[in-house]
Structure 1
Amino acid sequence: MIDSIDKLSPRKQQALQTRKKLLEAGQETFLENGFQKTTIAQIIKKANTGYGTAYVYFKNKDELFMILMDDLMNRFYEVAEIPFKPQSKNEALELIKNQVHLFLTLAVEEKNMMMIVKEAIGVSADIDQAWYKIRERFINRISIDIAYAQENDLAKKNLDPSLVARGWFYSNEMYMWELVHNEEKYAMDDVIHNLVSIYGNGLYE
């Protein structure tokens, strides 16, 4: 990556550095002030870039935030993309349990940023739409795993993979927000045990 950047012209290298500075300043400002109270002017000031220059890269704070959100979600996608090729129900449940644990642990580790995401979804139509697309990407990946289990005679074949995947993701998302908000109503291990038990016994033979 460094080599490829070094091959760019000085002007393009400067542009990449400016964009990176704006994104870093944006994340710091969002974490300090929350989504609604953050302004593009605050981000520009923290990044120490020209006011007009910032708008070359981002039309507004919503667009800048969506890039930060995508970067964060890519870490969650890495969990979703863990190979899922179980040969038995027990192996499938262990793989699912591990994925749920990694997914929820990452959400808690990034809870400050996740709370800003939650706030932004509620006040920005663009970010709400972006979150919808993120959901659909996760649901599609889960559908593929369910279809694999059905094709290999591990899961009930009378169930619709896309519908089951949708319900499974929404359940995980709900508890993710519970844990992110640190309401301390439920222990993570209890959440994982109950989620996987209900899902696994409902889907797998």
Structure 2
Amino acid sequence: MEQSHSVTDGRHLRAQQTRQKLLEAAREVFLEEGFHKATISQIIKRAKTGYGTAYVHFTGKDDFLIVLMEDVMAAFYSIAELPFHPQSRGDAERLILHQTTSFLNMAESERDMLKLFSEAIGAFPTVQKKWEDIREQFVLRIAQDIKYSQEQGLARKEVNPELVARGWFYSHEMYLWDIVKCQHKASLDEIAKTLASIYTGGLYE
């Protein structure tokens, strides 16, 4: 029984290692070739695996990109998940500015991977759906922060938290893609301060 368990664990470990090797190869090929020019054949050749092995783990190159983006977005989610328990409007302003600045800086540091993702969004429904899921997760978390501020008597209670959260994230999303395309016309600090100022000025009492 123990030998059977050991064999199973060994196979599982090898499968994990193969999957990771394929992901690393995919990342390298995507960054070198761009998403549209990259092929499964190039990825498989770089990873030194067979077609059958690759398709055991991934359904296509969009699947490779989605998994890679999950790792990138985990870092963004960590920003959204930062503790948010302001005791005053000043506290809220400082926390929001910190989150906004961190989000924009993350967009810049992950520009190459996000650029690949933007190329694929319009071409693959699976990637489009993934981005929509990412957006909704952010909106939900932001709405929770707004509700907390309303309950503490810091934010206007007559506004709908989800609607405010959606507009707040959309403004970040617009600047995220501008940063990815190197089209932003101001420094990240100036953009962050402007966004945070407009947001807190309209929401907090």
TM over 0.5: yes
Stretches of structure 1 lacking an aligned partner (at least 5 in a row)? 1-5
Q: Which residue of 2 aligns with 1:55?
A: 55
Distance, in Å, in 2 between the alignment partners of 1:183 and 1:66 is 25
CA RMSD of aligned residues (A): 1.3
Contact 2:108 2:179 survives alignment (8 Å): yes
Aligned-partner Cα distance in 1 for 2:118–2:21? 24
Note the residue ranges of structure 2 that are not aligned, 5 or more in a row.
1-5
Shift of the 80–33 alpha-carbon distance from structure 1 to 2, 3 Å rule, reads same
> Post-superposition shift, 1:12?
1.4
SS at match of 2:142: helix
**Could you list the runs of 4 or more consecutive aligned residues of structure 1 that deviate by over 6 angstroms after TM superposition?**
none
Deviations 1:65-115 (A, max 9, x none): 111111110110001000000000011010000001111111101111111
1:204 corresponds in structure 2 to: 204
Alignment-derived partner of residue 98 in structure 2: 98
**Partner of residue 68, structure 1:** 68
1:169 aligned residue? 169
Task: Give the aligned residue type for 1:39.
Answer: T
**Residues 101-112 of structure 1 correspond to what in structure 2 (within 5 A)?**
101-112=101-112
Query: Partner residue of 1:3?
Result: none
Equivalents in 2 of 1:195, 1:184: separation in Å? Answer: 14
Distance 2:130 2:11 in 1: 31
Q: What is aligned with 2:25?
A: 25
Cα deviation for residue 183 of structure 1 reads 2.4
Secondary structure, in 3 states, of the residue corresponding to 1:35?
coil
Label 1:78 to 1:29 Cα distance change in 2 as closer, same or farther (>3 A).
same
Distance in 1 (CA, whole Å) between partners of 2:202 and 2:97 is 15
Distance in 2 separating the partners of 1:9 and 1:196: 50
Cα deviation, 1:133-176, whole Å, max 9, x if unaligned, reads: 00000000000000000000000001000000000000011011
Q: Secondary structure at the match of 2:128?
A: helix
1:17 alignment partner AA: Q
* In 2: Cα distance, 1:22 partner to 1:45 partner: 10
Identity of aligned residues (%): 50
> Counterparts of 1:97 and 1:87 in 2: how far apart (Å)?
16
Distance (whole Å) between structure 1 residues aligned to residue 31 and residue 106 of structure 2: 17
Q: How does 1:94-173 map to 2 (within 5 A)?
A: 94-173=94-173
